[in-house]
A and B are shown apart, each in its own frame.
Chain A
Amino acid sequence: MDAGMSASPLIEARGLSKRFATPARLSDIFGVKRPDVFAVNKVNLSIEAGESVGLLGESGCGKTTTGRLLLKLIDPSEGDVLFDGAPISDLAGDALIAFRQRAQLVFQNPFDALNPRFTIERALAEPLVNTGVDSATHRDRVEKALAQVKLPPLARFEGLFPHQLSGGQLQRIVLARALVLEPAFIVADEPVSMLDVSVRAGVLNVMREVRSSLGLAALYISHDLALVRYVCSRTLVMYLGRIVEEGPTAELLKAPLHPYTRALIQAVPVPRVDQQRAPLPIMGNVSDARGRPKGCGFRERCPLALARCAEEEPQLRPIGAERRVACHIV
């Protein structure tokens, strides 16, 4: 359906939307109707086997919700997710367990993601226990996952608990725990944002290598443009629940098309002293995601907005072979 997409992606979202009801208030008894929050709004995306895609956006843009929808951790309000061509919405029982083995989440905060009372060995074997994998193979599979994330063999973690490990080691353990099920697809939500710079590079390198050696499809959710540039071949930019731009990472960062992407790139300080930074081409704050948005969600902050932008919601349309943008002006 779209330019640059092959016929059978591993995972595909079609018209995916998620609305959250705003919490009940006293004014409800007077029959005041409160609009829902449109966290994710008619998102189409696809990821091929072995491909690494970045999902870039600011807090509250819906990027984490999108990741959770793709893994069926929550159910969509509208639309569907196809995994290997089959919809995941009505998976249940054994079929759902089989899906969970193939699609895994890597958590953001390694200090919270592991049960403090489980030894490292138990934490790594737990997914195998939960999915009913033959216990005779557990140790081998755990060893394999540890080797994949470049950690020493299990014997070195004998009897150790999470608090005895460093942040960088913990984040590798969290990644190994996702890999132990030999998934085909992982969602990594801000995978290194809790780590210090000097250890971050090690985890990023492991993620890059694991993906290419195992042929994993991966969605990296991040607000960090430099990280996305380092790990992802293709990037999606999200704003107020919608994808506003999509393209090969290098091109998208070098020549952004959407005014929002341009502002994002312009905003990031670089680690050089002589930096010449133009004033920010953006105004105000993110609009409210409550209520049905009319027109372009970015128009109030956009320096280029036209009258048309308030009337008509721009749809993602192809620009060249591999890029797409949702903007009337481009």
Chain B
Amino acid sequence: MEPVLNVRNLVVEYRTPRGVVRAVDGVSFTVPKGKIVGLVGESGCGKTTVARSITGVLHPSARIAAGEMIFKGRDLIKSPTEHWLDMRWREISFVPQSAMNSLDPVYRIGTQIEEVLVERGGKSRVEARKRAADLFDMVGLNPGRLDEYPHQFSGGMRQRVAIALALALNPSLVIADEPVTALDVIVQRQILDVIRELQRKLSLSMILVTHDISVVAYLTDKVVVMYAGRIVEHGPTVDVLERPRHPYMMGLNNAFPDLEGETHDLVPIDGSPPDLASPPPGCRFQPRCPFALERCGTEDISTLTDGDGAAVACHRSGEADDLRVRAREAATWMPV
């Protein structure tokens, strides 16, 4: 089936006082219809820049230097701005991280939802009112509270409003950037459940940007792992989390504490991600990788083809099964 979105070799650059920084360097992935794709990585890996490129709300200092984003048969990057603007919210909508700041404090919440429905969706006032009530119901809010102001809602309720707003016009693609990061665990779980239920009911296509592997495991069908501006591994969530083929993912599995099972000693990945103003040659994880060979420091491994299956950007991917066994040993990750 035709994917909803097909991103090909996306390159995004930022102008900074220290020169041009390539925050996203040749990223390719697809979003299948009716699936949730997790876009995961650490701060600065470029995941938010990818999400912002798709919604067309990049920072003024950023520009898309190359690549394609095929959405419904048209390349968004080559499309005129009016086309892109027209798509926004009607076809591609956005759930921000902090719903606290994304609602206007001086307007009633109902008014803000109706405005989207009337201005962008071409509905009449009466239809909009009814649809707003339905949307409230859908995300588990009491439609009787449509006339309240944002400050009367808790953080979790505001996040529900943000989800309702994103779904208002039945978009083909929803992009959620860390939708639960600012929330407490219990509220977090409630919002994750809302997203999960709506996704099943409406068979939403969604990109979920997050740094949290647990959220990826809970919600997504497919995961795209980014490191230092590039994709290092992608595939069905089960495969990537349970049988990672990239040493970075293998290392992460030892690095965070778990709530279940034995308490084993955590093993950090030595070092930190590279400075993107002067990235290392070859594989970008190579300076921190315990399995690096000489060629890893010289030969580039940037392009990943996106079939429906999984793919990994590692020179030693053929030995993944052996490496995974060695990666479980703490000694493997000790700095030499």
Contact = CB atoms under 8 A, between A and B. Distances in A.
Interface of A: 58-59, 166-168, 196-202, 204-205, 223, 225-227, 229-230, 250, 253, 263-273, 275, 277, 280, 282, 285-286
A204 B258 CA distance: 13
B186 A271 contact: no
Given A58-B185, A223-B184, A227-B257, A272 B217 contact: yes
A226 B186 contact: no
Nearest to A225: B259
B259 A201 contact: no
B331 interface: no
Contact of B214 (A166, A205, A268): A268
- With most chain A CB atoms within 10 A of its CB, the pick from B192, B193, B266 is B266
A198 B266 CA distance: 10
A227 B252 CA distance: 15
Contacts of B187: 285
Contacts of B266: 201, 204-205, 230
B237 to A, nearest CB: 6
B272 A269 contact: no
B185 A205 contact: no
26 contacts: A196-B43, A196-B273, A197-B255, A198-B251, A198-B255, A198-B273, A199-B268, A201-B268, A201-B269, A202-B268, A202-B270, A204-B257, A225-B185, A226-B257, A264-B185, A268-B189, A269-B192, A269-B218, A270-B214, A270-B258, A271-B241, A273-B238, A273-B241, A275-B217, A280-B186, A280-B190
Contacts of B184: 58-59, 223
A168 B335 CA distance: 15
Nearest to B270: A202
Given A167-B272, A196-B43, A205-B265, A271 B255 contact: no
Contact of B217 (A58, A227, A270, A282): A270
B186 A58 contact: yes
B147 interface: no
B241 A285 contact: no
Interface in B199-235: 211-218
A167 B273 CA distance: 11
Contacts of A204: 257, 266
- With most chain B CB atoms within 10 A of its CB, the pick from A198, A205, A263, A265 is A198
Contact of A198 (B212, B216, B252, B263): B252
Contact of B218 (A198, A275, A280, A285): A275
B189 A267 contact: yes
B159 to A, nearest CB: 12
Interface of B: 42-43, 154, 156-157, 184-190, 192-193, 211-218, 237-238, 241-242, 248, 251-252, 254-260, 263, 265-270, 272-273
Contacts of B248: 198
Contact of B269 (A58, A198, A205, A264): A198
Shortest Cβ-Cβ A-B pairs, 4 listed = A202-B268, A201-B266, A201-B268, A267-B189
Given A198-B255, A272-B217, A230 B263 contact: yes
A269 B214 contact: yes
A282 B260 contact: no
A265 B259 contact: yes
Contacts of B192: 269
- With most chain B CB atoms within 10 A of its CB, the pick from A201, A266, A267, A268 is A201
Contact of A271 (B217, B251, B268): B217
Contacts of A205: 265-266, 268
B237 A264 contact: no
Nearest to B154: A285
B186 A273 contact: no
Nearest to B272: A166
A196 B268 CA distance: 11
A273 B258 contact: no
Contacts of A285: 154, 156-157, 187
- With most chain B CB atoms within 10 A of its CB, the pick from A58, A166, A196, A226 is A196
Contacts of A230: 257, 263, 266
B256 A201 contact: yes
Nearest to A227: B257
Contact of A197 (B211, B242, B265): B211
B186 to A, nearest CB: 5
A270 B260 contact: yes
A147 to B, nearest CB: 16
Nearest to B192: A269
Contacts of B218: 269, 275, 277
A150 B154 CA distance: 42
Contacts of A286: 154
B217 A273 contact: yes
Contacts of B214: 268-271
A271 B256 contact: yes
Contact of A272 (B154, B185, B215, B241): B241
A268 B185 contact: yes
- With most chain A CB atoms within 10 A of its CB, the pick from B185, B193, B242 is B185
Nearest to B45: A196
A286 B193 CA distance: 19
Nearest to A198: B269
A226 B213 CA distance: 13
Given A267-B189, A280-B190, A226 B272 contact: no
A227 B263 CA distance: 11
Contacts of B252: 197-198
Nearest to B212: A269
Given A196-B43, A197-B211, A199-B272, A267 B186 contact: yes
B269 A229 contact: no
